[in-house]
Chain A
Amino acid sequence: MSEQDIQDWIRKQIAAHDVVLFMKGTRQFPQCGFSGQLVQILDHLGVEFKDINVLEDMALREGIKAFTNWPTIPQLYVKGEFVGGCDIVRDMFQVGELQQLLADKGIAHSQRTTVA
């Protein structure tokens, strides 16, 4: 895919799913600690999300960084908006801001804040 095609493909994924996690590996088999942390948080909150494994395509792995001007993976999108990487989403989860954002956007989840 050309660079433009990659950007269009990313835009389509983000528009097609309420919650999208660009990650290294898959939700069943995360291949990076940071990606695994976000899968754990989203699973813990019972959020339905689309996982996209950037390791499958180097152009995608670089394309997503250009898309948001964000240099690392994972990247979480909710209703088409970039929420953050591992640090930001984890911090938001710990103070309940992630749960509030999901509620504000009408996305089903459970309210629990602690991860076992």
Chain B
Amino acid sequence: MPMDAGEIERLIKAKLPDAEVTITDLAGDGDHYAANVVSEAFRGKSRVQQHQMVYEALEGRMGGVLHALALQTSVPEGDNKSDN
């Protein structure tokens, strides 16, 4: 049973309440999404750890009902926004 974008966002935000989540449906089949997740909780964590945090939020659906999630994770930009 495919997932819808709203459910993915809800699950991620339940685990990472401060997260900014942007989801793109890549194929319209509920199975192939891209997600960009920005959260303070990622600060100091390796890319692998950041992605594992998101996979944990998805409670085992990753690699199951959710076949493909092209994932980008990052921390919020610092207060001192660069001008360029």
Contacts and interface: CB of A to CB of B under 8 A. Distances in A.
Interface residues of B, number: 13
Interface string B39-73: 00000000110011001000010111000101110
B72 A87 contact: yes
Majority SS at the chain A contact face:
mixed
Nearest to B62: A71
Majority SS at the chain B contact face:
mixed
A88 B68 contact: no
Given A34-B68, A87-B70, A87-B72, A65 B63 contact: yes
A88 B63 CA distance: 16
Interface size range of chain A in the complex:
10 to 19
Nearest to A71: B63
A65 B63 CA distance: 10
Interface of A: 34, 65, 69-73, 82-85, 87-88, 91-92
Interface of B: 47-48, 51-52, 55, 60, 62-64, 68, 70-72
